[in-house]
Structure 1
Amino acid sequence: MIDLAWLVVAIPLASSTLLLMLGRRSDAWGHLLATLASAAAFVVGLLVVLEVVGQSPEARVNDVHLFSWIPAGELSIDAGLRVDPLSLTFVMLITFVGTLIHVYSIGYMSHDVARRRFFAYLNLFVAAMLVLVLADSYALLFVGWEGVGLASYLLIGFWNQRTEYAVAAKKAFVMNRVGDMGLLVAMGLLFANLGTVSFSGVDAAAGSLSTPMATAIGLALLLGACGKSAQFPLQAWLGDAMAGPTPVSALIHAATMVTAGVYLIVRADAVFSAAPTAQLVAACIGAFTLLLGAAIACAKDDIKKSLAGSTMSQIGYMVLAAGLGPIGYAYAIFHLVTHGFFKAGLFLGAGSVMHANGDATDMRTYGGLRKVMVVTWVTFAACWLAIIGVPPFAGFYSKDKIIETAFVGEGWQPWVFGGAALVGAAVTAFYMSRMFFMTFHGKARWVDDAASLGADDPRPHRHPHESPLVMTLPVVVLALGAVALGFLLSLGDGITGWLEPVTGHVDHPEPVLPIPVIIATTLVLVAVGVALAWRQYGMNAVPTTAPAGSVLTRAARRDLFADDVNEALVMRPGQHLTRTLTYADTAVVDGAVTGAAAGTVASGRVLRRLQNGYVRSYAATILAGVVVAGAVLHLVRL
């Protein structure tokens, strides 16, 4: 079955191609084909996983050769698949959560005239993401890397009739290209120094890299990871990406694509192990971004943008763990998997709330929805408890392992990284509780259309209702994962033992604080965060208009001025440079060419007067020439 792993990619790719080629002829059944294709990819992936589980741990890393791809002199690249526990973990996450989101989208996009095209793009994304995680070389990984970027662009700007959505898609696409340049540079340096870009070749030869070169390659890879995973300093695009339909936010910008940077760091373990400075930078970026995203999430009233800040923060935890090296790799992937479930559940729950409220995204116009959306309330609550890390929900097992690992080390590092992780846990509890209470609890800040209140009531008139079964069932499944997945993946050796053939066996050193103290402190901080949110948003009336807030609140509402910084440091200097180069091209380069042409034309106009067709003029010219020549000869003799 391992030799047929290519079917996991081929099935959704074929479905996407067929839907795009058939056009409107497939409108009636295109969504069903796309959903079945995603489900079929999951079944094939599951069969491969079952076969690999039956192998001994040392035999679980399999390279499947497909064909010779780039035979060009010294550069010879084969297309193949790396089928191992790491890639298969992602295959299961992508196809299972992806299938649930396909099912949810059948209901969510039921009234959209371009639903068939939407599902074709979803299948395209699934196929590209599977190429990314199954590739056996950095070159083929880059194909999937660009493929998910294209699919993200198409889906963010799906409703491109609205200018702001089209602009958001372009912003995400361009900012990701900056990170992609880092990945390209890393591949070039790997080939120049090692003569290969295959994972097996790089893993075997990375130890021969000099420390400066390994650091350069590691930092270039990290730049690529920051772009795709919305980490500082390339994080500004994620909030704008919420312009896409909510299922897109759940699949691409929460559960899968934005975690590709974490996958890249773990997969490039050999390079980062040879570059401790790059590892440290990764950990610092993760710690900083988890706090940055949490601060942004606290200030957003748009439910999707608050979840986007949360995603940025949670991926920061994963990057922090991956930056800690082998002791954190398995926990980074552990949290990535559990996060894929509860964050997809949160986004789909938010989509149901929006669907029931006329697509309104402002949480200040919600309130009291638990009475009319019971299923959504219960499932959202399960995912909320999972993300804030309440035992026995999934986040308690995965995120708390990262917090414990962050306290491992010497000198300043465990205190800085561990402290950041603890603060992040408290702030996460606050902003997620804020979202939960503002949305489902308190008094309704809307008026039911069926109520007999006067039409002059200033509150928005709506008729909130529970979503249909096709939308609630996938969220229920994700909520069950948010409840039980952490415990299930911790049984026995759990996910750490499963990933050991890739991450290696690691003896986990003791943190600088006793583990019970870390766990107790984390739970106390989580309780404080929930209590503060309940006091402010559960017990008190929530104003429908956001108050001015503190300086920090106003800054967080503007994403801590990320766009302003990018504009000042990159965009304006870039525009100035472009104008300068344009002027130089027009005035100097083109000016020299057009000036020479103009001079030739002007000379021709002057000389043309000598050719007027009159014999007497020619005779006078000859006579003048003779006189001048005679005068010159006379002067020379003198």
Structure 2
Amino acid sequence: MGEEASTVYHLFDWITVGSLNLGFSFLVDPLSALMLLIITGIGFLIHLYSCGYMASDESFGRFFSYLNLFIFFMLLLVMGSNYLIMFIGWEGVGLCSYLLIGFWYKNTSYANAAKKAFVMNRIGDLGFLIAMFVLIAVFGTLEYKEVFAKASQFPMGDATLLLITLLLFVAATGKSAQIPLFTWLPDAMAGPTPVSALIHAATMVTAGIYMIIRSNILFTLSPLTLQIIAAIGVATALIAAFIAMTQNDIKKVLAYSTVSQLGYMFLGLGVGAFTAAFFHVLTHAFFKALLFLGAGSVIHAMHHEQDMRKMGGLKKYLPITFMTMLIGTVAIAGIPPLSGFFSKDEILAFAFAQSPLFWGLGFVGALFTAFYMFRMLYITFYGDFRGTTEQEQHLHESPMVMTLPLIVLAVLSLIGGIINLPSVLGGGQWLANFLSPIYEYSVSRASEVHLEHSTEYILMAASAIAAIIMAILAYQKYVKKQDLPQEDGAQQGSLHKLSYHKLYIDEIYDALVVKPLNGLSKVLYKAIDKGLIDAIVNGVGDIIHASGRGIRQLQSGYVGFYIIMMVLGVAAIVLYGILNM
């Protein structure tokens, strides 16, 4: 990173062991500056929204203390000048995620969801920890500048860099919810809706993408890792989108949508489009935070009802929420000229340049996205109201403190695409130029797509037209034909059943991992803990107790007994003296 583009603020020397010297210092450069704007900007809007959403909650103060602690750790994560500071923030946001998901801990299922998120993140974090040990062993430091400068001297495909990048990617799969560690994020919807918007849409789940972009030179020199990232990313995008097609909980739809969009970001990283992936991080922060807060506004109006089958016709009761969510839906569906179109299309263009197969799979995922998002919009806001009479009487638009953040995010979702408008559309690719200093050591800066303009136009048109067609198909099915999901969750066909039951992935994990571990724990508890350790501890106690019970007889309190013992003692002393004369 050039001196003119980055500044390191050294606070103090922290760890000095042998030749290893780690300082507590912050790095401010184009990448961290943009992340700071996202975290504090979106964070401010969500804080403002939370003032209205959480106003009646008895733990209002506790909620905001957790929320601000999260912001602190997230800022630490992106501002650190070395991997250790990043890791502190990394673990800190994991802790805050646990506290916020399980905020209403008296509900057992919510507490279990928090534990699930915490444990699955720890699996990924182990990869980060081992990666740091390897970095110290190989480079003798964890400072970004020193690591990247030394790494740039390594040959392409070096085995050591392959190991480091694979370990870092394992960490990213946990935090950024990729296969196989993605099942915690849909369950994380147990937390209050502002938590879902902040942590599980705009900031924490993008930490893995940030870490890979920050370490771009390591990954650029490990093409095999990039291929794995692309494959995992596109698979996650497809699977999550497929599951979202039939979900009836409004927040679950958005949760699987988040997993799917994160998959697109990883696809971008895997094909070397680091800037395009970050562009999608940026636009996704706008429209996904908007969609989650809009869903929160609906839930607030429906008195905490999240089942879309019990909604309908809310357009006339919640006009601001409807208009803003419509903008968010159009943006995430990739319909021009909203922000999501430009960022998603740039990733797909890079994918096409590297592998038409990746483009094809990403394109199918985009079709799914457009369909399930408009499905959610139509079921919630169109048709007749399907809730109770009491709910209908209390339907009302959210207060200004909640709708103002929606309006601001809607505007950002509308115009956010201009940040990195492609040259084929007359744009100057401002974001790519702004971020170029962070690719100083990279073999390829990956800021431009090397495709013919005619090819780019065809790809853009295909993506946009397909998204519009899917929106029309969803309208025909859910508005015109009123073909709504069944109240009892009845399924229609094996594919529908697979999607509705989330591909039975949780059940598979339960059978292959959870139950065997529980069984092993019970065996170890009975054989080792109770049979061996407890037996030794209790045996020692029993021996001491039995000996104490015998010796206790010597302290009987009878004077005659003491006189006899005294006489016997004197006799023993005299006898000892005679024998030794």
Task: Please give the TM-score of this superposition, normalised by the length of structure 1.
Answer: 0.80
Letter in 1 for 2:209: V
Question: Is the 1:138–1:197 Cα contact (8 Å) retained in structure 2?
Answer: yes
Indicate how the Cα distance of structure 1 residues 297 and 602 shifts in structure 2: closer, same or farther if over 3 A, else same. Answer: same
Indicate how the Cα distance of structure 1 residues 359 and 595 shifts in structure 2: closer, same or farther if over 3 A, else same. Answer: closer
* Partner of residue 436, structure 2: 500
* Partner of residue 470, structure 1: 401
Question: Is the 2:5–2:29 Cα contact (8 Å) retained in structure 1?
Answer: yes
* Partner of residue 356, structure 2: 415
Find the aligned partners of 2:225 and 2:288 in 1 and give their Cα distance.
29
Find the aligned partners of 1:462 and 1:555 in 2 and give their Cα distance.
37
Post-superposition Cα deviations, 1:22-64, rounded to whole Å, max 9, x if no partner, equal xxxxxxxxxxxxxxxxxxxxxxxxxxxxxxxxxx976112221
Q: How does 1:101-120 map to 2 (within 5 A)?
A: 101-120=46-65
* Partner of residue 262, structure 2: 315
TM-aligned CA deviation for residue 447 of structure 1: 4.9
Question: Is the 1:104–1:474 Cα contact (8 Å) retained in structure 2?
Answer: yes
- Count of aligned positions: 536
Q: Secondary structure at the match of 1:370?
A: coil
Find the aligned partners of 2:457 and 2:372 in 1 and give their Cα distance.
25
Indicate how the Cα distance of structure 1 residues 473 and 517 shifts in structure 2: closer, same or farther if over 3 A, else same. Answer: same
TM-aligned CA deviation for residue 285 of structure 1: 0.8
* Partner of residue 368, structure 2: 427
* Partner of residue 492, structure 2: 549
Question: Is the 1:130–1:144 Cα contact (8 Å) retained in structure 2?
Answer: yes
Q: Secondary structure at the match of 2:23?
A: strand
Q: Is 1:379 matched with 2:324?
A: yes
Indicate how the Cα distance of structure 1 residues 544 and 353 shifts in structure 2: closer, same or farther if over 3 A, else same. Answer: farther
Q: How does 1:258-407 map to 2 (within 5 A)?
A: 258-325=205-272, 328-407=273-352
Indicate how the Cα distance of structure 1 residues 543 and 556 shifts in structure 2: closer, same or farther if over 3 A, else same. Answer: closer
Aligned counterpart in structure 1 of residue 479 of structure 2, from 538, 551, 568: 538
Question: Is the 1:165–1:243 Cα contact (8 Å) retained in structure 2?
Answer: yes
TM-aligned CA deviation for residue 462 of structure 1: 4.7
Indicate how the Cα distance of structure 1 residues 111 and 597 shifts in structure 2: closer, same or farther if over 3 A, else same. Answer: closer
Find the aligned partners of 1:509 and 1:474 in 2 and give their Cα distance.
35
Q: Is 1:89 matched with 2:29?
A: no
Find the aligned partners of 2:447 and 2:32 in 1 and give their Cα distance.
23
Question: Is the 2:275–2:447 Cα contact (8 Å) retained in structure 1?
Answer: no
Q: Is 1:197 matched with 2:197?
A: no
Post-superposition Cα deviations, 1:200-232, rounded to whole Å, max 9, x if no partner, equal 121011245572221111111001101001111
Find the aligned partners of 2:460 and 2:125 in 1 and give their Cα distance.
38
Find the aligned partners of 1:311 and 1:496 in 2 and give their Cα distance.
24
Find the aligned partners of 2:206 and 2:190 in 1 and give their Cα distance.
19
Greater RCO structure (CA 8 Å; 6+ sep): 2
Question: Is the 1:118–1:155 Cα contact (8 Å) retained in structure 2?
Answer: yes
Post-superposition Cα deviations, 1:355-384, rounded to whole Å, max 9, x if no partner, equal 001110011111111111111111111111
Q: Is 1:564 matched with 2:481?
A: no
Q: What percent identity do the matched residue pairs reach?
A: 45
Q: Is 1:160 matched with 2:96?
A: no
Find the aligned partners of 1:480 and 1:161 in 2 and give their Cα distance.
38
* Partner of residue 608, structure 1: none
Aligned counterpart in structure 1 of residue 450 of structure 2, from 510, 528, 550: 510
Find the aligned partners of 1:370 and 1:214 in 2 and give their Cα distance.
53
Q: Secondary structure at the match of 2:198?
A: helix
Find the aligned partners of 1:499 and 1:577 in 2 and give their Cα distance.
50
TM-aligned CA deviation for residue 91 of structure 1: 0.3
Q: Secondary structure at the match of 1:110?
A: coil
Q: Is 1:578 matched with 2:521?
A: yes
Find the aligned partners of 1:66 and 1:598 in 2 and give their Cα distance.
57
Q: How does 1:90-239 map to 2 (within 5 A)?
A: 90-207=35-152, 211-239=158-186
Post-superposition Cα deviations, 1:260-293, rounded to whole Å, max 9, x if no partner, equal 1111111111221222111111111111000111
Runs (5+) with no aligned partner, structure 2: 422-426, 548-581
Question: Is the 1:388–1:526 Cα contact (8 Å) retained in structure 2?
Answer: yes
Find the aligned partners of 2:490 and 2:530 in 1 and give their Cα distance.
51
Aligned counterpart in structure 1 of residue 462 of structure 2, from 521, 527, 532: 521
Find the aligned partners of 1:93 and 1:594 in 2 and give their Cα distance.
58
Letter in 2 for 1:151: C
Find the aligned partners of 1:103 and 1:598 in 2 and give their Cα distance.
63
Indicate how the Cα distance of structure 1 residues 509 and 111 shifts in structure 2: closer, same or farther if over 3 A, else same. Answer: closer
Q: Secondary structure at the match of 1:63?
A: strand
Letter in 2 for 1:499: L
* Partner of residue 437, structure 1: 378
Question: Is the 2:101–2:190 Cα contact (8 Å) retained in structure 1?
Answer: yes
Indicate how the Cα distance of structure 1 residues 514 and 564 shifts in structure 2: closer, same or farther if over 3 A, else same. Answer: same
Q: Secondary structure at the match of 1:59?
A: coil
Letter in 2 for 1:62: T
Q: Is 1:480 matched with 2:411?
A: yes
TM-aligned CA deviation for residue 520 of structure 1: 1.8
Indicate how the Cα distance of structure 1 residues 557 and 507 shifts in structure 2: closer, same or farther if over 3 A, else same. Answer: closer
Find the aligned partners of 1:581 and 1:369 in 2 and give their Cα distance.
55
Question: Is the 1:329–1:503 Cα contact (8 Å) retained in structure 2?
Answer: no
Question: Is the 2:77–2:88 Cα contact (8 Å) retained in structure 1?
Answer: yes
Q: Secondary structure at the match of 1:60?
A: coil
Question: Is the 2:300–2:398 Cα contact (8 Å) retained in structure 1?
Answer: yes
Q: Is 1:63 matched with 2:8?
A: yes
Runs (5+) with no aligned partner, structure 1: 1-55, 450-459, 604-638
Q: Secondary structure at the match of 2:16?
A: strand
Question: Is the 1:330–1:495 Cα contact (8 Å) retained in structure 2?
Answer: yes
TM-aligned CA deviation for residue 525 of structure 1: 1.8
Letter in 1 for 2:19: E
Question: Which stretch of the first structure deviates more once superposed, 68-77 or 84-93?
Answer: 68-77
Question: Is the 1:321–1:406 Cα contact (8 Å) retained in structure 2?
Answer: yes
Indicate how the Cα distance of structure 1 residues 521 and 191 shifts in structure 2: closer, same or farther if over 3 A, else same. Answer: same
Q: Secondary structure at the match of 1:140?
A: helix
Letter in 2 for 1:487: I
TM-aligned CA deviation for residue 556 of structure 1: 2.3
TM-aligned CA deviation for residue 445 of structure 1: 1.4
Post-superposition Cα deviations, 1:147-179, rounded to whole Å, max 9, x if no partner, equal 111111111111111111111111111111011
Question: Is the 1:58–1:501 Cα contact (8 Å) retained in structure 2?
Answer: no
Q: Secondary structure at the match of 2:12?
A: strand
Task: Please give the TM-score of this superposition, normalised by the length of structure 2.
Answer: 0.87
Q: Secondary structure at the match of 1:361?
A: coil
TM-aligned CA deviation for residue 506 of structure 1: 3.9
Question: Is the 1:357–1:462 Cα contact (8 Å) retained in structure 2?
Answer: no
Post-superposition Cα deviations, 1:359-411, rounded to whole Å, max 9, x if no partner, equal 100111111111111111111111111111111100111111111111112xx
Question: Is the 2:241–2:256 Cα contact (8 Å) retained in structure 1?
Answer: yes
Find the aligned partners of 1:544 and 1:507 in 2 and give their Cα distance.
47
Post-superposition Cα deviations, 1:526-578, rounded to whole Å, max 9, x if no partner, equal 12211221121111222551332322222223322221222222222322333
Question: Is the 1:441–1:538 Cα contact (8 Å) retained in structure 2?
Answer: yes
CA RMSD of aligned residues (A): 2.5
Letter in 2 for 1:298: M
